[in-house]
Amino acid sequence: MSARILDGKMLAQRLQQELKNEVELLRVRFGKTPRFMNITIGQEPSAGSYGKSQKRAADFIGIDYQFAYLSSQVTQKELLDYVHGLNEDPDIHGIMLHKPVPEGIDFQQAVNRIVPHKDIEGMNIANLGLLMLGRTNIIPCTSAAAMALLLSCGIDLAGKEAVIVGRSEIVGKPMMLLLLEKNATVTVCHRGTSKAGRLIDQVGRAEVLVVAMGKPGFIKGAWVREGSVVIDVGINAVNGKIVGDVEFDEAARRAAFITPVPGGVGPLTAVMLMKNGIETFKTQMQMV
Ligand code: NAD
């Protein structure tokens, strides 16, 4: 079997166009343009590419997207006060805190300071709690992107064996909840699974495999179940090239659908951030 490629760039373009149309309608209805603030502390080089793709997506959609660069010497209290100021500003409709943050800064405490109706990454504990209850439309962006690609193949997830490799707060855990919402039977694997020598078996069972490890080519193509859907979230730089966590060529021979890296989940992530932001904007417009 030769897998069909799940093209994240194409899906991102389609979604961006839909969001652009929606923002135009919202502008007519409320007389306002959504405005979001990305807080970046210090000059982390990684802020570059994700930040740029956020700005590109925002510009296309018609969102006013700004960056606040805080000094790497900023204290936790100064950061919390800064977030509070943005919470109180009626012209800011969405806030995100770029990761990583310098040592000594408590990321989750700062994200929890963002009011839930401005938390465009969906990482505030209130939004994570609502996600757990299946009652939010603010979904952590990477898992929202992975889910959009998965749903684009048109498979019915109910009762499917879904295996996630990686249990991070930003990808693996939200993905687990989203797949459960769709009635998949979900297994979450992590380092402990590998240490027990059980990862190969778990991967081999997966009708839907979502991998977010940060380990280039760790999942061997030969482990992948015939006819499965493989969503590779990994982004790893190897010898100047970006590769995923799954050994692509062999996996593509076995799977029915597979995401490429680059060009799969990555291009959709920033668009999902904007989608969340449009939801927070609508909530705020309905609050006034
Ligand atoms: P993380 O380091 O927070 O989590 C990695 C997870 O993988 C952990 O739960 C760990 O238990 C698991 N893991 C690591 N080694 C393992 C092993 N040998 N066996 C089994 N499990 C193992 O990483 P993260 O932030 O979730 O990111 C994962 C990958 O996804 C990275 O490559 C990152 O660059 C990428 N990513 C992509 C996007 C995107 O927009 N496409 C967004 C976020 C992260």
Nearest of 19, 36, 23 to residue 97 by alpha carbon: 36
* Fold classified for 141-266: Rossmann fold (3.40.50)
Q: Tell me the CA–centroid distance for residue 281 and ligand 1, in Å.
A: 30
Q: Is 167 in the pocket of ligand 1 (CB under 6 A)?
A: yes
Q: Is 12 in the pocket of ligand 1 (CB under 6 A)?
A: no
User: Rounded distance, CA 272 to CA 258, Å?
Assistant: 20
Instruction: Give residue for tokens 């805080």.
Output: 70
Q: How far apart are the first and last CA of the chain?
A: 55
19 contacts 68 by C-beta, under 8 angstroms: no
**In CATH, 31-116 is 3.40.50.10860:** yes
pLDDT at 287: 77
Residue 64 Cα to chain centre, angstroms: 20
Six-digit token string for 72: 């790497």
Instruction: From the CA of 245, give the closest atom in ligand 1.
Output: 32
Residue 173 CB contacts under 8 Å (≥ 6 apart), including other chains: 167, 188
pLDDT tens for each residue of the chain, 288 residues long: 599 999 999 999 999 999 999 999 999 999 999 999 999 998 754 457 888 999 999 999 999 999 999 999 999 999 999 999 999 999 999 999 999 899 999 999 999 999 999 999 999 999 999 999 999 999 999 999 999 999 999 999 999 999 999 999 999 999 999 999 999 999 999 999 999 999 999 999 999 999 999 999 999 999 999 999 999 999 999 999 999 999 999 999 999 999 999 999 999 999 999 999 999 999 999 976
Q: Is 198 in the pocket of ligand 1 (CB under 6 A)?
A: no
Q: Is 8 in the pocket of ligand 1 (CB under 6 A)?
A: no
Domain ranges of the chain: 31-116, 141-266
Query: What residue ranges in 54-122 does DSSP mark as E strands?
Result: 64-70, 94-97
Which of 142, 171, 265 most suits a substitution to test ligand 1, by most atoms within 8 Å of the C-beta?
171
pTM (2 d.p.) = 0.96
Q: For residue 124, give the 3-state DSSP assignment.
A: coil
Residues forming beta bridges with residue 165, ordered by sequence position: 189, 211
pLDDT at 105: 97
Residue 231 Cα to chain centre, angstroms: 13
pLDDT at 106: 98
Q: Is 215 in the pocket of ligand 1 (CB under 6 A)?
A: yes
Q: Looking at ligand 1, which residue's alpha carbon is closest to its atom 42?
A: 142
